[in-house]
Amino acid sequence: MSRYTSEDLARRDATDTADPQDPRSPFEVDRARIIHSSAFRRLQGKTQIFGVGEGDFFRTRLTHSMETAQIGKGLVLFVNKTPELAGAPISVELVEAACLAHDLGHPPFGHNGEAALQAMMHAYGGFEANAQNLRILTRLESKREEFGLNLTRATLRAVLKYLEPYSARKRARTGPKAHLAVEKCYYDQDEPLMAWIRADGDRAGRSLESEIMEWADDIAYSVHDLEDGLHSGLIIPEHFNNLRLVERMAEYAGKRGAIGCDVAEVQAFMARVFAQLPGGSALRLKEQRKRLTSTLIHAAIINTGVTRGESGALSLAMDEGVRRQVAMLKAVEFVLMIRNPRVTTLEYKGRLIVTQLFRALAQDDSGDLLPEDVRESWDEVRHDEPQRLRVVCDYIAGLTDLAALKMYARLFEPGVGSMQDEL
């Protein structure tokens, strides 16, 4: 029995049919379309934690997405052996496609760029990276006119993480800084698209493939950001003797799923981590770090399973110990890396650049500051302010870190820029 029906394999443009000589499955086609998209290529120039160009060792959004896809594949191969999936296995290619696509919507300069665009778009439909993923896959990429990459319904469902519209999330948010909060949502204007993707009825919830994609993402960035932190020297054993720092880690981990996490638990876990890094030569330490990441990822995969609820719906089940370890790794990285002044000062600059670019392009009532292809989209909606600002937002969100820096310098720094520059 196949897990996927004709409804799952449907594309919004039904005339987009496979070549009879093409041996690939529909999900293999989806994966290829994502890999060949310009949005996927641009991930090589977008920040993960360390800025692009900080060194040739650290992850970018592109390498992170590739590693997430590999972990997602490992999870599928493992959980497909469980009795709950007997006879109806999950497609490896589908999960790989979703993992490769999961970060396409991230703007330049990471989460600070995301927060800057949300502040600018607060009153005009908001900005959120996963919502932008959907917009890229179904509108902005030009494989099929008006349908984006025209992926299958199942692949779009696997990419979809959040099931509430922006307006509902916005109404629930109060306080003086409500406009700064990045809502976990989809855009209201995508409501008809969401109805098609979810097919309503019993498909109202997230798919199992989407849960696997998100868990693969959690594993990838928690473990690989640890490796980057160790390599950079931002995570060292001495930090865990500082109670003030470890208290912050325990508090953060508690908010990320490790309920009741305390200083002793964080210290004990990180002591086990550092015990696997006894040191020696530089080459030996490099090998030890690589072995550590492999061990952590393997443990997460083999301690993941599938359960069937009372309604009969399947969901992902993770070992509680592994879930807590992932939460603690996130906390360690947040406190020692993401909030480190060596990182935050550059993030501040990135947020400022995105904000200034948006203001300049939004205030230009001619559209002449935009590249020609973007200006064509701008012209079509020039008298509709929310849609016009959405075009500006789409353009900035699609920029790499370097492209945003160059555009900023061209607009605001005297003596920078030439008529020969490509926009």
Q: What pLDDT is stored for residue 16 in this prediction?
A: 86
Q: What pLDDT is stored for residue 172 in this prediction?
A: 73
Three-state SS letters, 45-90 = HCECCCCCCCCCCCCEHHHHHHHHHHHHHHHHHHHCCCHHHCCCCC
- The Cα 92–Cα 75 span in angstroms is 9
- The Cα 339–Cα 355 span in angstroms is 21
What is the average pLDDT across 334-348?
88
Could you identify the residue written with the tokens 């993401």? 338
pLDDT exceeds 70 at position 111: yes
What's the whole-number average pLDDT of the chain? 91
- Reported as a pLDDT band with limits 50, 70 and 90, residue 180 is low
Q: Which residues contact 199 (CB under 8 A, 6 or more apart)?
A: 7, 153
What backbone phi and psi angles, to 5 degrees, belong to 382? -60, -25
What is the average pLDDT across 134-158?
91
Percent of the chain beyond pLDDT 90? 74
pLDDT exceeds 70 at position 221: yes
What is the average pLDDT across 414-422?
69
Percent of the chain beyond pLDDT 70? 93
- Reported as a pLDDT band with limits 50, 70 and 90, residue 205 is confident
pLDDT exceeds 70 at position 342: yes
- Reported as a pLDDT band with limits 50, 70 and 90, residue 142 is confident
Q: Is pLDDT larger for residue 28 or for residue 183? A: 28
Q: What pLDDT is stored for residue 53 in this prediction?
A: 62
- The Cα 97–Cα 86 span in angstroms is 22
Q: What pLDDT is stored for residue 133 in this prediction?
A: 96
Q: What pLDDT is stored for residue 346 in this prediction?
A: 82
Q: What pLDDT is stored for residue 418 in this prediction?
A: 64
pLDDT tens digits for 314-323?
899 999 999 9
- The Cα 295–Cα 289 span in angstroms is 10
Q: What pLDDT is stored for residue 179 in this prediction?
A: 65
* Highest mean pLDDT, choosing among 59-63, 69-73, 181-185, 416-420: 69-73
Q: What pLDDT is stored for residue 17 in this prediction?
A: 83
**DSSP secondary structure string for all residues of 182-242:** ----B-GGGHHHHHHHH-SGGG-S--HHHHHHHHHHHHHHHHHHHHHHHHHTSS-GGGGG-
